[in-house]
């Protein structure tokens, strides 16, 4: 993570995102602080979020349409950071997350862990390199998506920030370089990296299904982002280009690689107590090898308005649209080919949300979703309704 103005973090929020680090002495040539000074740079923080989800017709993150809803959406994170030298940051975060029944034992995992060395640190320019398990500069919200205090809503727009396939989008194991130019009119930020895409069972079921025997493994992937923040953050714009590759070991004749290539354009306007945010993405997905190559291009976009109407209250209105295949936007061909129901190929979501900062460390949130389509629901829901509704409540605490 980079302390860039592009992400518009306050000092209070930065401590949860930068994560943390385990003490290792100076690994890179330079003047290391005295032992006592190094310990003075150590910071340890954490957060806990628990949600209740109640839905009509379809389930999301557990049996949300049954009885009193689902409590199977929990996030617990602990992070720490330290600076062995003035130019070197060591940071890591351990996250235990349950989103449905995919992690019933709340198994803690390394969310990110990195060495960040800045070889240029001037008033006009900052440049550095990161090595380790890195958060991806994907759109506006991806690098801070696990911290509820940095999200505008309980769920991010699912057309861009898929929860069912968050693993490869969230982070990768590799190397990244970045540069930040402080211009007269604003700040220009660049970051690019390569690494091994992360995978999990949700990714396998989404791209391959659960009925066909196969195993998947992340392959060499890449991502790059150029972002610009005008003035003091009145306008924020970004362009993200990525390629996530996943190797498939399946039955004879099956594809041996899946590739996901999104292009995301992001724009945000901030004025006083309100802001408008929009992102648009073209998402190319392809299967290569095997009997034949297949590819489709999907389209995603959302428009979001948020306003702080009291000192500690904020509301949000968003329209979010997802189409899996631009050549078959209503899924009619998909259904006629016997691959599933048509409404599994799109989703149009109206969201109304409300947040209350009860204290500086306690956030209470609620939001309502009215959705046409099931394009971002897990594929293992054999029977689903096209039109469905969802109500979420969440309490988030940080320390």
Question: What sign does the CA torsion over 391, 140, 138, 77 have?
Answer: negative
Q: Which residues contact 62 (CB under 8 A, 6 or more apart)?
A: 53, 70, 71, 72, 73, 100, 101
**pLDDT given at position 322:** 97
Instruction: Say yes or no to pLDDT of 67 above 90.
Output: no
Element (H, E) at 294: strand 294-310
Angle at 79 between CA 311 and CA 199, to 5 degrees: 105
User: Phi and psi dihedrals of 111, rounded to 5?
Assistant: -75, -50
3-class SS at 149? Answer: helix
Secondary-structure percent of the chain, ordered helix, strand, coil, rounded to 5: 10, 55, 35
Model confidence band, residue 208 (pLDDT cutoffs 50, 70, 90): low
Q: Which of 48-62, 302-316, 369-383 has the lowest mean pLDDT?
A: 369-383
Tell me what the mean pLDDT of segment 126-149 comes to. Answer: 90
Quote the pTM value: 0.87
**pLDDT given at position 347:** 96
**pLDDT given at position 8:** 38
Q: Where are the domains of the chain?
A: 107-398
Instruction: Say yes or no to pLDDT of 18 above 90.
Output: no
Of 179, 172, 1, residue with least CA distance to 92: 1
Gyration radius of the chain over CA positions: 21
Instruction: Say yes or no to pLDDT of 11 above 70.
Output: no
Instruction: Say yes or no to pLDDT of 207 above 60.
Output: yes
Tell me what the mean pLDDT of segment 194-218 comes to. Answer: 75
The residues that bridge with 97 in the sheet, in sequence order, are: 75
**Dist CA 151 CA 356 (whole Å):** 13
**Dist CA 14 CA 2 (whole Å):** 10
**8 Å CB contact between 310 and 318:** no
Tell me what the mean pLDDT of segment 182-195 comes to. Answer: 94
**Dist CA 257 CA 260 (whole Å):** 10
Q: Does domain 107-398 have CATH number 3.40.50.300?
A: no
Instruction: Say yes or no to pLDDT of 200 above 90.
Output: no
Decide which of 217 and 313 is more confident. 313
Best-predicted range by mean pLDDT (148-152, 208-212, 238-242)? 238-242
Tokens read off for 150: 């940095």
Decide which of 127 and 383 is more confident. 127
Mean pLDDT value across the chain: 85
Round to the nearest angstrom and report the end-to-end CA distance of the chain: 19
**Dist CA 241 CA 226 (whole Å):** 9
Instruction: Say yes or no to pLDDT of 97 above 90.
Output: no
User: Strand (E) positions, the chain?
Assistant: 43-56, 70-85, 88-99, 109-121, 125-135, 171-182, 186-197, 215-218, 220-230, 235-249, 257-271, 274-288, 294-310, 313-323, 346-359, 362-372, 387-398
What does DSSP assign to residue 204?
A: H
**Percent of the chain scored above 90 by pLDDT?**
57
Tell me what the mean pLDDT of segment 286-305 comes to. Answer: 87
Element (H, E) at 11: helix 11-17
Q: Which of 3-12, 41-50, 198-207, 271-280 has the lowest mean pLDDT?
A: 3-12
Tokens read off for 226: 């150029």
Instruction: Say yes or no to pLDDT of 31 above 60.
Output: no
Instruction: Say yes or no to pLDDT of 185 above 60.
Output: yes
Torsion of CA 247, 102, 260, 207, to 10 degrees: 70
Angle at 348 between CA 345 and CA 150, to 5 degrees: 110
**pLDDT given at position 219:** 87
Tell me what the mean pLDDT of segment 184-197 comes to. Answer: 93
């Amino acid at each position: 993570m980079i302390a860039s103005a592009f992400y518009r973090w306050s000092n209070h929020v930065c401590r949860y995102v930068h994560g943390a680090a385990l003490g290792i002495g100076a690994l890179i040539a330079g003047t290391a602080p005295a032992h006592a000074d190094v310990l003075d740079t150590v910071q340890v923080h954490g957060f806990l979020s628990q949600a209740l989800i109640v839905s009509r017709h379809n389930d999301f993150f557990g049996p949300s349409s049954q009885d009193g809803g689902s409590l199977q959406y929990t996030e617990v994170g602990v992070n720490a950071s330290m600076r062995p030298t003035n130019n070197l940051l060591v940071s890591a975060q351990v996250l235990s997350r349950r989103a449905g029944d995919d992690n019933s034992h709340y198994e803690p995992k390394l969310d990110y862990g990195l060495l960040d060395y800045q070889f240029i640190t001037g008033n006009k320019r900052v440049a550095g390199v990161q090595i380790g398990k890195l958060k991806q500069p994907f759109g506006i919200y991806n690098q801070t998506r696990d911290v509820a205090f940095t999200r505008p809503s309980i769920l991010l727009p699912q057309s861009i920030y898929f929860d069912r396939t968050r693993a490869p989008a969230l982070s990768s194991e590799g190397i990244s370089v970045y540069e930040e130019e402080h211009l007269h009119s604003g700040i220009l930020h660049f970051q690019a990296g390569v690494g091994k895409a992360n995978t999990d069972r949700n990714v396998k079921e989404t791209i391959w299904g659960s009925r066909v025997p196969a195993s998947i493994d992340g392959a060499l992937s890449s991502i790059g982002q150029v972002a610009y923040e005008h003035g003091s953050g009145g306008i924020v714009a970004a362009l993200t280009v990525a390629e996530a590759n996943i190797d498939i070991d399946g039955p004879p004749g099956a594809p041996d690689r899946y590739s996901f290539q999104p292009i995301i354009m992001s724009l945000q306007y901030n004025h006083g107590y309100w802001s408008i945010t929009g992102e648009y993405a073209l998402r190319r997905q392809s299967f290569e090898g095997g009997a034949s190559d297949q590819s489709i291009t999907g389209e995603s976009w959302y428009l979001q308005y948020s306003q702080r109407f009291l000192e500690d209250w904020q509301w949000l209105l968003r329209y979010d649209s997802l189409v899996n295949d631009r050549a078959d936007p209503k899924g009619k061909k998909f259904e006629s080919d016997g691959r599933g129901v048509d409404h599994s190929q799109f989703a149009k979501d109206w969201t109304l949300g409300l947040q209350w900062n009860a204290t500086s460390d306690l956030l209470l949130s609620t939001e309502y979703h009215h959705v046409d389509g099931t394009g971002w629901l897990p594929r293992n829901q054999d029977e689903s309704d096209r039109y469905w509704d969802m109500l979420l409540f969440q309490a988030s605490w940080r320390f």
